[in-house]
Amino acid sequence: MDREQEEMQFLGPFGIYTEAYKIIISWRKIFTKITLALILPLSFIFLAHIKVSELLTSRIIHNEVELIDAQAGTQRYNKLSDLISSEQTTYWLFQLAYTISLFIFSLLSTSAVVYTIACIYTAREVTFKKVMSVVPKVWKRLMLTFLSTFLAFFAFTLVFLIILIIWTFLWAYTIGIRHINTLVVISYIIMIIYGVGFLYMTVVWHLANAVSVLEESYGFKAMVKSKNLIKGKMWVVIVVLLMLNISSFAIYKVFEKFVVHGGSLSLVYKVGFGILCLSLQSMLSLFGLIIQTIIYFVCKSYHHENIDKTILSDHLDVYLGDYVPLKETDVQLGQFQV
Protein backbone atom coordinates (compact mmCIF):
# COMPACT_ATOMS: atom_id res chain seq x y z
CA MET A 1 0.00 0.00 0.00
CA ASP A 2 1.22 3.43 -0.90
CA ARG A 3 0.19 5.16 2.31
CA GLU A 4 2.01 4.99 5.62
CA GLN A 5 -0.03 3.72 8.53
CA GLU A 6 -0.10 7.14 10.23
CA GLU A 7 -1.87 8.61 7.20
CA MET A 8 -4.54 5.94 6.96
CA GLN A 9 -6.51 7.24 9.94
CA PHE A 10 -7.63 10.21 7.82
CA LEU A 11 -9.20 8.08 5.08
CA GLY A 12 -12.93 8.53 4.60
CA PRO A 13 -15.26 6.37 2.48
CA PHE A 14 -13.98 7.77 -0.83
CA GLY A 15 -10.35 7.42 0.30
CA ILE A 16 -10.95 3.80 1.30
CA TYR A 17 -12.56 3.04 -2.07
CA THR A 18 -9.66 4.71 -3.87
CA GLU A 19 -7.07 2.77 -1.87
CA ALA A 20 -8.84 -0.51 -2.65
CA TYR A 21 -8.96 0.33 -6.35
CA LYS A 22 -5.24 1.16 -6.40
CA ILE A 23 -4.40 -2.15 -4.73
CA ILE A 24 -6.46 -4.14 -7.24
CA ILE A 25 -4.84 -2.37 -10.19
CA SER A 26 -1.31 -2.69 -8.80
CA TRP A 27 -1.70 -6.37 -7.91
CA ARG A 28 -4.28 -7.39 -10.52
CA LYS A 29 -2.42 -10.57 -11.49
CA ILE A 30 -2.65 -12.28 -8.10
CA PHE A 31 -6.13 -10.94 -7.38
CA THR A 32 -7.31 -12.24 -10.74
CA LYS A 33 -6.11 -15.71 -9.77
CA ILE A 34 -7.75 -15.49 -6.34
CA THR A 35 -10.98 -14.32 -7.98
CA LEU A 36 -11.02 -17.16 -10.51
CA ALA A 37 -10.16 -19.79 -7.89
CA LEU A 38 -12.36 -18.69 -4.97
CA ILE A 39 -14.46 -15.58 -5.49
CA LEU A 40 -15.93 -16.50 -8.88
CA PRO A 41 -17.26 -19.85 -7.54
CA LEU A 42 -18.60 -17.99 -4.49
CA SER A 43 -20.48 -15.52 -6.71
CA PHE A 44 -21.75 -18.32 -8.96
CA ILE A 45 -23.10 -20.21 -5.95
CA PHE A 46 -24.83 -17.04 -4.72
CA LEU A 47 -26.54 -16.28 -8.04
CA ALA A 48 -27.30 -19.91 -8.95
CA HIS A 49 -29.05 -20.29 -5.61
CA ILE A 50 -31.52 -17.55 -6.60
CA LYS A 51 -32.43 -19.28 -9.87
CA VAL A 52 -32.60 -22.85 -8.55
CA SER A 53 -34.60 -21.83 -5.46
CA GLU A 54 -37.14 -20.07 -7.70
CA LEU A 55 -37.49 -23.17 -9.91
CA LEU A 56 -37.94 -25.54 -6.97
CA THR A 57 -40.37 -23.21 -5.20
CA SER A 58 -42.51 -22.68 -8.31
CA ARG A 59 -42.76 -26.44 -8.88
CA ILE A 60 -43.81 -27.04 -5.27
CA ILE A 61 -46.45 -24.28 -5.41
CA HIS A 62 -47.77 -25.59 -8.74
CA ASN A 63 -48.16 -29.12 -7.39
CA GLU A 64 -49.77 -27.84 -4.19
CA VAL A 65 -52.38 -26.01 -6.29
CA GLU A 66 -52.96 -29.21 -8.26
CA LEU A 67 -53.33 -31.12 -4.99
CA ILE A 68 -56.14 -28.82 -3.85
CA ASP A 69 -58.18 -29.74 -6.93
CA ALA A 70 -57.46 -33.46 -6.58
CA GLN A 71 -59.83 -35.69 -4.63
CA ALA A 72 -58.39 -37.14 -1.44
CA GLY A 73 -57.65 -40.86 -1.55
CA THR A 74 -57.33 -41.05 -5.33
CA GLN A 75 -54.24 -42.23 -7.15
CA ARG A 76 -53.63 -38.72 -8.51
CA TYR A 77 -53.88 -37.22 -5.02
CA ASN A 78 -51.43 -39.72 -3.53
CA LYS A 79 -49.01 -39.24 -6.43
CA LEU A 80 -49.08 -35.45 -6.07
CA SER A 81 -48.67 -35.72 -2.29
CA ASP A 82 -45.61 -37.95 -2.66
CA LEU A 83 -44.20 -35.65 -5.34
CA ILE A 84 -44.59 -32.59 -3.13
CA SER A 85 -42.87 -34.35 -0.23
CA SER A 86 -40.01 -35.36 -2.50
CA GLU A 87 -39.66 -31.84 -3.92
CA GLN A 88 -39.71 -30.29 -0.44
CA THR A 89 -36.96 -32.66 0.66
CA THR A 90 -34.95 -31.72 -2.44
CA TYR A 91 -35.49 -28.04 -1.71
CA TRP A 92 -34.19 -28.24 1.86
CA LEU A 93 -31.25 -30.44 0.89
CA PHE A 94 -30.36 -27.87 -1.75
CA GLN A 95 -30.58 -25.06 0.81
CA LEU A 96 -28.28 -27.02 3.12
CA ALA A 97 -25.76 -27.67 0.33
CA TYR A 98 -25.92 -23.99 -0.65
CA THR A 99 -25.30 -22.80 2.90
CA ILE A 100 -22.32 -25.12 3.39
CA SER A 101 -20.79 -24.23 0.01
CA LEU A 102 -21.29 -20.50 0.53
CA PHE A 103 -19.81 -20.76 4.01
CA ILE A 104 -16.69 -22.61 2.84
CA PHE A 105 -15.92 -20.40 -0.17
CA SER A 106 -16.66 -17.25 1.82
CA LEU A 107 -14.13 -18.18 4.51
CA LEU A 108 -11.52 -19.29 1.97
CA SER A 109 -11.94 -16.08 -0.04
CA THR A 110 -11.68 -13.93 3.07
CA SER A 111 -8.56 -15.79 4.21
CA ALA A 112 -6.86 -15.39 0.84
CA VAL A 113 -7.62 -11.69 0.40
CA VAL A 114 -6.84 -10.60 3.98
CA TYR A 115 -3.58 -12.54 3.93
CA THR A 116 -2.59 -11.09 0.54
CA ILE A 117 -3.31 -7.51 1.64
CA ALA A 118 -1.20 -8.07 4.77
CA CYS A 119 1.69 -9.31 2.62
CA ILE A 120 1.36 -6.26 0.37
CA TYR A 121 1.31 -4.01 3.44
CA THR A 122 4.58 -5.51 4.68
CA ALA A 123 6.13 -5.42 1.20
CA ARG A 124 6.64 -9.18 1.22
CA GLU A 125 6.86 -11.18 -1.97
CA VAL A 126 3.47 -12.76 -2.44
CA THR A 127 2.49 -15.40 -4.98
CA PHE A 128 -0.75 -17.21 -5.60
CA LYS A 129 0.86 -20.53 -4.64
CA LYS A 130 1.99 -19.18 -1.27
CA VAL A 131 -1.41 -17.66 -0.57
CA MET A 132 -3.24 -20.91 -1.33
CA SER A 133 -0.82 -22.86 0.89
CA VAL A 134 -1.59 -20.61 3.87
CA VAL A 135 -5.35 -20.29 3.33
CA PRO A 136 -6.32 -23.72 4.81
CA LYS A 137 -4.44 -22.83 8.00
CA VAL A 138 -6.00 -19.39 8.31
CA TRP A 139 -9.64 -20.18 7.56
CA LYS A 140 -10.04 -22.31 10.71
CA ARG A 141 -9.68 -19.16 12.80
CA LEU A 142 -12.25 -17.40 10.63
CA MET A 143 -14.62 -20.32 11.09
CA LEU A 144 -14.46 -19.98 14.87
CA THR A 145 -15.09 -16.24 14.57
CA PHE A 146 -18.05 -16.89 12.27
CA LEU A 147 -19.55 -19.44 14.67
CA SER A 148 -19.13 -17.01 17.57
CA THR A 149 -20.79 -14.27 15.53
CA PHE A 150 -23.62 -16.62 14.61
CA LEU A 151 -24.25 -17.39 18.28
CA ALA A 152 -24.20 -13.66 19.07
CA PHE A 153 -26.70 -12.93 16.27
CA PHE A 154 -28.91 -15.82 17.43
CA ALA A 155 -28.91 -14.63 21.05
CA PHE A 156 -29.59 -11.03 19.99
CA THR A 157 -32.50 -12.08 17.77
CA LEU A 158 -33.93 -14.36 20.45
CA VAL A 159 -33.86 -11.57 23.04
CA PHE A 160 -35.52 -9.21 20.54
CA LEU A 161 -38.34 -11.68 19.84
CA ILE A 162 -38.91 -12.31 23.54
CA ILE A 163 -39.07 -8.57 24.25
CA LEU A 164 -41.43 -7.99 21.32
CA ILE A 165 -43.77 -10.82 22.36
CA ILE A 166 -43.81 -9.79 26.02
CA TRP A 167 -44.41 -6.15 25.07
CA THR A 168 -47.31 -7.10 22.78
CA PHE A 169 -49.03 -9.28 25.39
CA LEU A 170 -48.53 -6.77 28.20
CA TRP A 171 -49.96 -3.98 26.05
CA ALA A 172 -52.94 -6.10 25.02
CA TYR A 173 -53.56 -7.14 28.62
CA THR A 174 -53.22 -3.73 30.27
CA ILE A 175 -54.35 -1.31 27.56
CA GLY A 176 -56.39 -3.54 25.28
CA ILE A 177 -56.82 -3.18 21.54
CA ARG A 178 -58.30 0.32 21.75
CA HIS A 179 -54.93 1.90 21.07
CA ILE A 180 -53.77 -0.58 18.45
CA ASN A 181 -52.13 2.19 16.38
CA THR A 182 -49.89 3.15 19.30
CA LEU A 183 -48.98 -0.51 19.75
CA VAL A 184 -48.00 -0.79 16.09
CA VAL A 185 -45.89 2.39 16.22
CA ILE A 186 -43.98 1.30 19.32
CA SER A 187 -43.50 -2.19 17.83
CA TYR A 188 -41.97 -0.58 14.75
CA ILE A 189 -39.65 1.46 16.98
CA ILE A 190 -38.52 -1.75 18.69
CA MET A 191 -37.87 -3.34 15.28
CA ILE A 192 -35.89 -0.29 14.15
CA ILE A 193 -33.74 -0.62 17.28
CA TYR A 194 -33.24 -4.27 16.39
CA GLY A 195 -32.23 -3.31 12.83
CA VAL A 196 -29.67 -0.81 14.14
CA GLY A 197 -28.26 -3.43 16.50
CA PHE A 198 -28.13 -5.98 13.68
CA LEU A 199 -26.26 -3.51 11.46
CA TYR A 200 -23.79 -2.76 14.25
CA MET A 201 -23.09 -6.46 14.82
CA THR A 202 -22.60 -6.97 11.08
CA VAL A 203 -19.99 -4.20 11.03
CA VAL A 204 -18.24 -5.76 14.04
CA TRP A 205 -18.21 -9.15 12.31
CA HIS A 206 -16.63 -7.78 9.12
CA LEU A 207 -13.75 -6.20 11.02
CA ALA A 208 -13.43 -9.26 13.27
CA ASN A 209 -12.52 -11.30 10.17
CA ALA A 210 -9.39 -9.22 9.62
CA VAL A 211 -8.58 -9.34 13.34
CA SER A 212 -8.85 -13.14 13.31
CA VAL A 213 -6.29 -13.45 10.51
CA LEU A 214 -3.82 -10.78 11.58
CA GLU A 215 -3.90 -11.02 15.37
CA GLU A 216 -3.96 -13.62 18.09
CA SER A 217 -7.62 -12.98 18.87
CA TYR A 218 -10.37 -14.99 17.21
CA GLY A 219 -13.91 -15.99 18.08
CA PHE A 220 -15.55 -13.80 20.72
CA LYS A 221 -12.20 -12.16 21.51
CA ALA A 222 -11.93 -10.99 17.90
CA MET A 223 -15.43 -9.52 18.14
CA VAL A 224 -14.51 -7.60 21.29
CA LYS A 225 -11.30 -6.37 19.66
CA SER A 226 -13.26 -5.35 16.57
CA LYS A 227 -15.83 -3.49 18.67
CA ASN A 228 -13.07 -1.45 20.31
CA LEU A 229 -11.34 -0.70 17.00
CA ILE A 230 -14.52 0.59 15.37
CA LYS A 231 -14.97 3.31 18.00
CA GLY A 232 -14.49 6.69 16.37
CA LYS A 233 -14.78 5.27 12.85
CA MET A 234 -18.24 3.76 13.13
CA TRP A 235 -20.00 6.01 10.62
CA VAL A 236 -17.20 5.70 8.08
CA VAL A 237 -17.35 1.90 8.29
CA ILE A 238 -21.17 1.85 8.12
CA VAL A 239 -21.24 4.10 5.03
CA VAL A 240 -18.58 2.02 3.26
CA LEU A 241 -20.24 -1.33 3.98
CA LEU A 242 -23.74 0.01 3.35
CA MET A 243 -22.76 1.17 -0.14
CA LEU A 244 -21.30 -2.27 -0.86
CA ASN A 245 -24.51 -3.97 0.29
CA ILE A 246 -26.64 -1.61 -1.79
CA SER A 247 -24.52 -2.42 -4.85
CA SER A 248 -24.85 -6.14 -4.17
CA PHE A 249 -28.62 -5.78 -3.79
CA ALA A 250 -28.79 -3.94 -7.12
CA ILE A 251 -26.97 -6.82 -8.85
CA TYR A 252 -29.35 -9.26 -7.17
CA LYS A 253 -32.41 -7.37 -8.45
CA VAL A 254 -31.03 -7.18 -11.99
CA PHE A 255 -30.32 -10.91 -11.98
CA GLU A 256 -33.75 -11.65 -10.54
CA LYS A 257 -35.57 -9.49 -13.10
CA PHE A 258 -33.71 -10.43 -16.30
CA VAL A 259 -32.55 -13.99 -15.57
CA VAL A 260 -34.88 -15.51 -12.99
CA HIS A 261 -38.13 -13.83 -14.07
CA GLY A 262 -37.15 -12.75 -17.57
CA GLY A 263 -39.64 -15.02 -19.28
CA SER A 264 -40.02 -12.80 -22.35
CA LEU A 265 -36.29 -12.59 -22.97
CA SER A 266 -34.45 -14.97 -25.26
CA LEU A 267 -31.91 -17.45 -23.93
CA VAL A 268 -29.07 -15.36 -25.36
CA TYR A 269 -30.14 -12.28 -23.40
CA LYS A 270 -30.60 -14.31 -20.21
CA VAL A 271 -27.13 -15.83 -20.54
CA GLY A 272 -25.69 -12.39 -21.27
CA PHE A 273 -27.29 -10.83 -18.19
CA GLY A 274 -26.23 -13.85 -16.14
CA ILE A 275 -22.58 -13.47 -17.17
CA LEU A 276 -22.76 -9.71 -16.55
CA CYS A 277 -24.19 -10.17 -13.04
CA LEU A 278 -21.67 -12.91 -12.26
CA SER A 279 -18.77 -10.67 -13.33
CA LEU A 280 -20.06 -7.66 -11.40
CA GLN A 281 -20.75 -9.72 -8.26
CA SER A 282 -17.27 -11.26 -8.39
CA MET A 283 -15.59 -7.86 -8.73
CA LEU A 284 -17.76 -6.41 -5.98
CA SER A 285 -16.94 -9.32 -3.65
CA LEU A 286 -13.21 -8.87 -4.23
CA PHE A 287 -13.56 -5.12 -3.74
CA GLY A 288 -15.48 -5.68 -0.49
CA LEU A 289 -12.93 -8.10 0.96
CA ILE A 290 -10.07 -5.72 0.21
CA ILE A 291 -12.00 -2.83 1.76
CA GLN A 292 -12.67 -4.96 4.83
CA THR A 293 -8.92 -5.33 5.38
CA ILE A 294 -8.17 -1.67 4.64
CA ILE A 295 -10.74 -0.69 7.28
CA TYR A 296 -8.75 -2.74 9.79
CA PHE A 297 -5.60 -0.70 9.09
CA VAL A 298 -7.60 2.55 9.13
CA CYS A 299 -9.02 1.75 12.56
CA LYS A 300 -5.63 0.68 13.89
CA SER A 301 -4.18 3.95 12.65
CA TYR A 302 -7.01 5.98 14.16
CA HIS A 303 -6.33 4.48 17.59
CA HIS A 304 -2.56 5.07 17.13
CA GLU A 305 -1.80 1.35 17.34
CA ASN A 306 1.33 0.95 15.29
CA ILE A 307 1.80 -2.38 13.53
CA ASP A 308 5.43 -3.40 13.28
CA LYS A 309 5.86 -4.50 9.68
CA THR A 310 8.86 -6.69 10.47
CA ILE A 311 7.03 -8.73 13.09
CA LEU A 312 3.93 -8.95 10.92
CA SER A 313 6.08 -10.05 8.00
CA ASP A 314 7.75 -12.78 10.06
CA HIS A 315 4.39 -14.21 11.05
CA LEU A 316 2.98 -14.01 7.54
CA ASP A 317 6.04 -15.83 6.21
CA VAL A 318 5.38 -18.95 8.26
CA TYR A 319 4.42 -21.54 5.64
CA LEU A 320 5.67 -24.66 7.40
CA GLY A 321 3.78 -26.10 10.32
CA ASP A 322 0.71 -24.44 11.80
CA TYR A 323 -0.16 -20.85 11.03
CA VAL A 324 1.32 -18.56 13.68
CA PRO A 325 -0.91 -15.51 14.27
CA LEU A 326 0.24 -12.18 15.58
CA LYS A 327 0.10 -11.69 19.29
CA GLU A 328 -1.62 -8.57 20.51
CA THR A 329 1.64 -7.40 22.08
CA ASP A 330 3.29 -7.68 18.66
CA VAL A 331 0.58 -5.70 16.92
CA GLN A 332 0.29 -2.96 19.54
CA LEU A 333 3.89 -1.99 20.02
CA GLY A 334 2.89 1.37 21.36
CA GLN A 335 1.37 4.54 20.10
CA PHE A 336 2.91 6.63 17.41
CA GLN A 337 2.69 10.36 17.49
CA VAL A 338 0.52 12.09 14.90
Structural contact between residues 125 and 109, judged by C-beta atoms closer than 8 angstroms: no
Which residue segment(s) compose the domain that 266 sits in? 5-136+233-328
Close Cβ partners of 96 (under 8 Å, ≥ 6 residues apart)? none
Question: What pLDDT score does 198 carry?
Answer: 86
Question: What pLDDT score does 333 carry?
Answer: 40
Q: Report phi then psi at 74, rounded to 5.
A: -80, 165
Question: What pLDDT score does 336 carry?
Answer: 40
Question: What pLDDT score does 315 carry?
Answer: 54
- Average confidence score pLDDT of the chain: 81
Of the candidates 191, 137, 127, which has an alpha carbon nearest to the alpha carbon of residue 163? 191
Residue 89 lies inside a defined structural domain of this protein: yes
Close Cβ partners of 120 (under 8 Å, ≥ 6 residues apart)? 1, 23, 27, 126
Return d(Cα 278, Cα 256) in angstroms, integer: 12
At 139-167, the pLDDT tens digits run 778 888 888 888 988 998 898 888 878 77
> According to DSSP H, which parts of 2-73 are helical?
5-8, 13-26, 28-34, 40-69
Of the candidates 279, 273, 240, which has an alpha carbon nearest to the alpha carbon of residue 258? 273
Residue 48 lies inside a defined structural domain of this protein: yes
The per-residue DSSP string of 198-217 comes to HHHHHHHHHHHHHHHHHSS-
Residue 207 lies inside a defined structural domain of this protein: no
Structurally, how many domains does the chain consist of?
Answer: 1
Return d(Cα 44, Cα 46) in angstroms, integer: 5
Residue 268 lies inside a defined structural domain of this protein: yes
Residue 157 lies inside a defined structural domain of this protein: no
Residue 90 lies inside a defined structural domain of this protein: yes
Residue 251 lies inside a defined structural domain of this protein: yes
Structural contact between residues 294 and 19, judged by C-beta atoms closer than 8 angstroms: yes
Residue 156 lies inside a defined structural domain of this protein: no
Half-sphere exposure of 127 (CA within 13 A, CB side): 4
Question: What pLDDT score does 4 carry?
Answer: 63
Give Cα separations from 252 to 52, 68, 138, 192, 286 (angstroms): 14, 33, 30, 24, 16
> According to DSSP H, which parts of 122-177 are helical?
128-174
Q: What is the mean pLDDT of each run of 10 residues along the chain (338 residues)?
A: 66 87 90 92 92 89 81 79 87 91 88 86 80 80 87 89 78 61 74 86 87 81 87 86 89 88 78 91 92 88 71 53 49 42
Question: What pLDDT score does 286 carry?
Answer: 93
